Structure formats: C-alpha cells, structure tokens
Amino acid sequence: MTVTLADVAARAQVSPATVSRVLNGNYPVAASTRERVLRAVDELDYVLNGPASSLAAATSDLVGILVNDIADPFFGIMASAIQSEIGGPGGRAGGERLAVVCNTGGSPERELTYLTLLQRQRAAAVLLTGGAVEDATHATAMAAKLRKMAEAGTRIVLCGRPPAPDTQAIALAFDNRGGARQLTEHLIRLGHRRLGYIAGPVELTTTRHRLEGHRAALEAYGIKEDPRWTVHGRYDRRSGYEATLELLRRDPSLTAVVAANDSVALGACAALRDSGLRIPDDVSVAGFDDLPFSVDTVPSLTTVRLPLAEVGARAGRIAMGREEPPPGGIASVRGELMVRGSSGGPRG
C-alpha cells in the first residue's frame, strides 16, 4: 500500500502543508516539529510521488559527513581530509561532489535526523566519524536506517567508528583499547602506581574502549584500581580542568593523570599548574589523539597519535569508489605512542 503525504501528517500529528514545508525546506518550521515529521517519514518509509519518485533509484552528487563537534580538531581534521577526496572522477558536473558537514552535537536524535535528510536527498555516500552512542534503541534505529540507505545505493563508511554489523557499512575503526593500554603501560613502566583517569561521556564507545584499555594495563601490572581515580566528563578542556581538581581532591597523592583526549589533557595541565604542581616533576600527564597543538604545549604532551587525516582521506576514497574497501569491510587502525615532556618518573 502506497504511503501518502496525509499518512505522514497523521503520524506526525501535523497538517499536510507542514509536512510539505519540511520536505521542501522552503518555509521555517519549528525544530521539534521538523524532527517529528522526519521521524514519521522514516517510520513510514515515505517516498515522494510524481516526478520526484523517478529519482528513487538514483543517487545525487551529495555526500554527507556526520561529526559530533566540528569545533573539535579531532572531527575537523577528519572532515577536511574526507572532503579533499570526494571530488574528482565519477561525479557529475565536472566530477565535483557537494560535501555537507552535519554537526550532531552528540545528539542521537540529530544523528538520525541528518541521516533521514541525506536519505531523502539520495546522497551518494555518507561518512560517520568518531564514536557511536551506546544505546540499544538508538543502535537498532541506526542499523535499520543504514541498511535502507545502503540498499538504495548510498555507500556508508564509518570513519574512526566501530563496525555496525548487518548494515553493509565499511568501517575504519581506531584501536582505542590498544592505544590506551600502551599509554598507561608507558606510565606504569616509569614507576607510576597511582594514576588518575579522566574519561569521556559514559554513553560513547570511544570512552568505554579507552577506559577498558587503561584498566587492562593496570590489571596486567597487578595494580588495584581505586574507584576514586576515575572521573567522567566531556571531551573538552574545561572538563579536563574540573575533573583534575576533583581527582586531586579525592586523592592528592596521585602521580599521573591520563586524559581521555588531548583537549582534556590541556585542561588537566592548567588545573595542575593552578594547584601549584609541576609537570612532570610532581604529576605526569598523558593525552590521546595527538592533535596539532600537542607538540607545542609546555611541556609537550605525551599522547597516542591517531592518523586522523590519513584515515579520513582513505574513507573519502572508499566512499567515492576510488579505493577498495578492506577485506571483510573492516579495518582496525592502530595508534602510535608519542613520548614527550609531560611524562616522567614519579616524585620521590
């Protein structure tokens, strides 16, 4: 049975005119209403009738790049590298593709909304960057959405993101567990036994995997973890600053702080300096990602280098069909330990 505009309107509890405005994008609509309409469109699998329906089996020159926070260098570097590879042979209009960067702000609802919009535009490819939200309901909805898009001809590439089984998505996944374990083992071998850890948001795969790697290193060296030594926060400088002060309040005897990423590590360094502590003489600090500023901090930051630009570029080529996907559609990308001035032996 054919789904009509009226069916979508009834499901979203709006007028057919409002549905038309949302789909055509030619009239302002409240964000909450817009998301409700798009959700109804997705649930009913609505396809435009008339001339537009002839496009249903085709793909456009549009490529969607989903990021958590475009202001975060982690995502900016990957998005830039992806965009540098999406033009060239294979597209219409001189071979160029139009890249649209969609900033989800970490919202699962916005992630699905953007995918629905890209689906309706028959995007040639969609690339999802960074960690995934660990929520069963959202994961089920995402899998269904990605399957529909792939079946319609959209190529799905996960860039620095864990594999999504049964979705036909190609995954270039960072080995966050292995990198985090290597980083913590470096500090342990320097003699540290009391290590604070600043983790990211609890709902993200990146957070869990990096924390698991850290804990695996502690266990391997027989170090019993104190629950006071782990604090969760956002992946930003302010969170690193506040979390470090909290760690020092909980246990002033900590000799090292391992941060969830380099931005968090910057905040940790500032908090330690403001507390009258020297790096690494009093407390060592380590980050993750090796963002461009890491080598210019004072002291320079010990971290794990992820090849963000290289992986982004590879993802872009795969999305455009100019490079073969990895065997089985999945590749694990390892990080490299970068030992610099922010880590040293523990005090006294």
CATH H superfamily, domain 1-56 = lambda repressor-like DNA-binding domains (1.10.260.40)
For residue 259 the two structure tokens come to: 């941060």
| Interval 188-229: pLDDT, tens | 999 999 999 999 999 999 999 999 999 999 999 999 999 999
| Interval 156-166: pLDDT, tens | 999 999 999 98
Instruction: Please give the share of the chain, as a percent, with pLDDT higher than 90.
Output: 76
287 or 120, which is more confident?
Answer: 287
HSE-up of residue 151 (Cα within 13 Å, Cβ side): 8
Q: Label residue 92 by pLDDT band (50, 70, 90).
A: very low
Radius of gyration of the chain (CA): 23
Q: Where are the domains of the chain?
A: 1-56, 176-307
Nearest-5° Cα angle at 282, 343 to 198: 65
For residue 285 the two structure tokens come to: 């600090």
Residue 336: in which H helix or E strand, if any? strand 336-338
CB count in 10 Å sphere of residue 57: 9
* Positive or negative torsion for Cα 111, 86, 165, 77: negative
Residue 65: in which H helix or E strand, if any? strand 62-67
This prediction has a pTM of: 0.84
For residue 88 the two structure tokens come to: 């060239």
For residue 54 the two structure tokens come to: 């002839």
| Interval 216-262: pLDDT, tens | 999 999 999 999 999 999 999 999 999 999 999 999 999 999 999 99
Q: Label residue 8 by pLDDT band (50, 70, 90).
A: confident
Measured distance CA(326)–CA(281) in Å, rounded: 44
Contact of 40 with 11, CB cutoff 8 Å = yes
Specify the DSSP class assigned to residue 299: S
Three-class secondary structure assignment of 156-202: EEEECCCCCCCCCCEEEEECHHHHHHHHHHHHHHCCCCCEEEEECCC
6 or 190, which is more confident?
Answer: 190
Q: Is 187 exposed, middle or buried (0-12, 13-18, 19+ CB in 10 A)?
A: buried
Q: How does the average pLDDT of the chain come out, rounded?
A: 90
Give me the mean pLDDT over the 76-84 stretch. 95
For residue 43 the two structure tokens come to: 């649930």
CATH fold of the domain at 176-307 = Rossmann fold (3.40.50)
Nearest-5° Cα angle at 48, 20 to 158: 100
- The pLDDT assigned to 182 comes to 98
Give me the mean pLDDT over the 17-23 stretch. 80
Residue among 153, 247, 152, 238 at smallest CA distance from 197: 247
3-state class (DSSP) for residue 13: coil
35 or 68, which is more confident?
Answer: 68
Residue 231: in which H helix or E strand, if any? strand 230-232
Lowest mean pLDDT among 43-57, 65-79, 120-134, 298-312: 43-57
73 or 97, which is more confident?
Answer: 73
- The pLDDT assigned to 88 comes to 54
pLDDT for 37 beyond 90: no
Lowest mean pLDDT among 114-123, 124-133, 178-187: 114-123
